[in-house]
Structure 1
């Protein structure tokens, strides 16, 4: 028996209704799956805020910040995906937390608001190996490293027969250069040319020069071209994209401390030739 037109199903309306329901269901699912990572990230941030509270308590009680195990006395739940380390003298701390969403968050005593680790990390508190160790424990891998080289110089050192006075410092940056140089006297400059140089005024003495960015070469084989005898230490050498380092510190007789060079370097011939002051 055929239904009357009044009682017949409107197939078009049924299909439209089904599509609308599907869209609504999809929206609900999207909202749910959007809320879950948010909640997971929020929980990770809360763990860091709890660490901050605990660190504040131990700083008042003991006069210094503490590692994670010592924070248990303040009620901090020591869980997987959470870590904190301090400077050797307890003057500052760094904490990290891994969210179940896969994101990692970081906080420090100087910046207590949790931030997502989405790029290079520099805490200004702990040594890079210690930071990497905590990062691996919390996230399974080191945090990205800032492309930076930090060097120490002394403009009061005597002249060398091969170069001018140390009151003007020339760096052996070569190849492709995209870097910002902080000369340590308030002068910060962007450089893309080889062998950047800077004169110093005032009383001669120690200077810290920080190079942030990339340079493909630190080549010291042409002795008159750079201030090798004025260099006293390389305290940091991050992932600067350097590949050429022939005679990098040759005849740098006042160089007494050297951090590990980046693994990207492929040419290290005569790297420390006649560098006599290193231990």
Structure 2
């Protein structure tokens, strides 16, 4: 089946075209859509492209950062204001992938590939949708209902910048270094006040159909000094309420067994 390409100059135009057709797909960087094209996916016959420069910009807004959905991982690494996200973007694929893969596309990536989405979830980002249903929503809500947004165009994400860079931590667990697919990824935001954690957010990737928060871990850390005893209690609850998947990389049992180990290392500030 032939695939036609439609190119638009403005976000609003592309959003209208995407929402008007169930057989259209949006092309950001191409790491998801072009794979589907090459595999002969027959579920769509139209590719929508966007030339709007605002779609690929990063700008400061108050205490946060507004990142266009078309910004690539390579652009994140190169942007000084987004330095806190650079360690995450840097471990997504090799140089060729980082020059293509976009922030918006990563929100829709399958569990083993959505490392940036995991970090954005831990940071409490907000997702902006374009078009007639233009609205912003917490990333938690967006990821929970991700399938419903398949015909929506993500315009940007707004990310609060950690006041203390050391409060944000990320680790990626993979069998192939440095650019292998994630067996598991963990991101944590651990702001402290008076020596105690206030507002903990901990997120996992590849531990469910979409990135998810480790609520039991967050509760164990909240209001606690980040000492060895608190870290041990949190690690013991690493998979409380979570049913890790089994896939080609690891079994559910294995993920459940090692999650606490990697979480403990992350909370203790150990580098891997």
* Structure having greater relative contact order (Cα 8 Å, sep ≥ 6): 2
Q: Larger Cα Rg: Structure 1 or Structure 2?
A: 1
Shorter-normalised TM-score: what interval? under 0.3
Q: Which has the higher helix share?
A: 2
TM-score by length of 1: 0.27
